[in-house]
Every structure is written in structure tokens, then in C-alpha cells.
Amino acid sequence: MSRDGFEYPDAAGYPDGMGFLDEGTAEELAEGAGSAEYVTPSADAADDLRIVDDAAVGRYRALIGDREVGVIRYSQSGTHTVLHSTYVDPELRGFGIATAFIVHVLDERRDRGEALVVECPVIRRFLTSHSDYADIVVR
């Protein structure tokens, strides 16, 4: 929150503390930071990041130990998987967790032979600098 009491939205359009990326992480993605091969968080991140597909509720959950630190919501629509939103705990942003999380989900869906509809602005932004996923994204 700024000193005038107004909470400015981050690059994804969400206010800090409620959004999906802080401005610094969004800028790194826009500049092409990271790569499709990057499937583990940076050395600064916790080394026990686990990603679990909770298909019953349409959520991928990112866990460090027993703590949920991120969520990617999705649903099935005919033959497509729709990626709705991404969230990473604001305290843990900037450590590569969101990048590792997104790459894991995209790779897993590709391995299943699924086509994706991406509604999530964070994942869309990631895809602008990772064209190697263009083959699985239908819109």
C-alpha cells in the first residue's frame, strides 16, 4: 500500500496482497526471465516445493512442507483444460516459485496431450516469452 493509502494494482491488474504476481516478478517475466527448462525454483527458494494436482476441485496446489504456497485453478471444457488463475503467497514471490509452478502445470498438461485455454493473465504473460508452449494453447 502506498503512503497515500491507495493500493496500486500490480502488472496483472490485481492489488498487492491479493494479486498473483508482484510488479517485480511480472517485469522479470516480461523481460523473458526464466526458461521452459526451468522446472525447479531458484537456489533462494525452499527446496521442498511439491506440486499436487487436486483434480476433484480443479486446483494444482504448490506446497512447501505442509504449507500451501500457491494455487492454479483450472476446469475442463470439452476437450480443453481452462487455466483460470494463478496465486503465489506474496511473501514468497521473487524466488522462482511461480515460474516453476507454471512450467510444471504446462508440461504435465502437454504430456497428457491436452489443449489449453488460458484465461489467467499471469500464465498468458509467461507464454508471451515462452513460445515453445504455443502447440498446446488454443487461446
The yes-or-no verdict on residue 127 having pLDDT over 60 is: yes
Indicate the pLDDT class of residue 106, thresholds 50, 70 and 90: very high
Would you give the DSSP letter of residue 119? -
Segment 77-101, tens digit of pLDDT: 888 999 999 999 998 888 888 989 9
Of 56 and 13, the structure prediction assigns the larger pLDDT to 56
**Dihedral over Cα of 98, 101, 104, 110: its sign:** negative
Indicate the pLDDT class of residue 44, thresholds 50, 70 and 90: very low
Indicate the pLDDT class of residue 47, thresholds 50, 70 and 90: low
Check residue 29 and give its pLDDT: 43
Among the listed residues 44, 55, 34, the one whose alpha carbon sits nearest the alpha carbon of residue 101: 34
Would you give the DSSP letter of residue 95? S
Residue 44, judged by CB atoms within 10 A of its CB (0-12, 13-18, 19+), counts as exposed
Instruction: Report residue 108 as a C-alpha cell.
Output: 504435465
All structural domains of the chain, each given as residue ranges with its CATH number in brackets, are 23-133 (3.40.630.30)
Percent of the chain whose pLDDT exceeds 90: 40
